[in-house]
Amino acid sequence: MTITSRRPIADLCCSPIAEVLISETEARDLADRLKALAEPTRLRLMSLVLASPDQQACICDLVGPVGLSQPTVSHHMKVLVEAGLLTREKRGRWAYFRALPGALDGLAAVIGSTGR
């Protein structure tokens, strides 16, 4: 079972915020995603998943590198899933996380500058 709870970042808005005024809902969605990444442990966990083969990692492989308990790492991963940055798939007793294609690229494009 794969779980995602937000629409793709590419659907957030069509242009960088420097080019168009985004709605209150779009601003809230973007802020939630940025908040999810603005925590050092979650940023490291995202990096670990992105650096893994196929940009996918088991929760069992994420606990050691960050030095936190499995429940704490699971909480952080849940935040990243809810933010629409990762998907979660249950395989037996373990959860596997995969980066959503273009999730960070989509964030970069939305907050990007027009260079004016």
What CATH number corresponds to the domain at position 36?
1.10.10.10
pLDDT in tens, 45-84: 999 999 999 889 999 999 999 999 999 999 999 999 999 8
What pLDDT sits at residue 105?
77
pLDDT category, 102, cuts 50, 70, 90?
A: confident
What pLDDT sits at residue 95?
95
pLDDT of residue 5 exceeding 50, the answer is no
pLDDT of residue 1 exceeding 60, the answer is no
In a domain, 116, yes or no: no
Give the total number of structural domains in the chain.
1
DSSP string, 12-52: T-SS-TTTSPPPHHHHHHHHHHHHHHSSHHHHHHHHHHHHS
What pLDDT sits at residue 103?
78
What pLDDT sits at residue 3?
42
Q: How far apart are CA 49 and CA 54, in angstroms?
A: 9
In a domain, 15, yes or no: no
Q: What residues make up the domain containing 53?
A: 2-8+23-111
pLDDT in tens, 6-56: 555 444 445 566 677 878 888 888 888 899 999 999 999 999 999 999 889
In a domain, 18, yes or no: no
For 56, the token pair is 């996918």
Average pLDDT over residues 84-91: 94
Predicted model pTM: 0.77
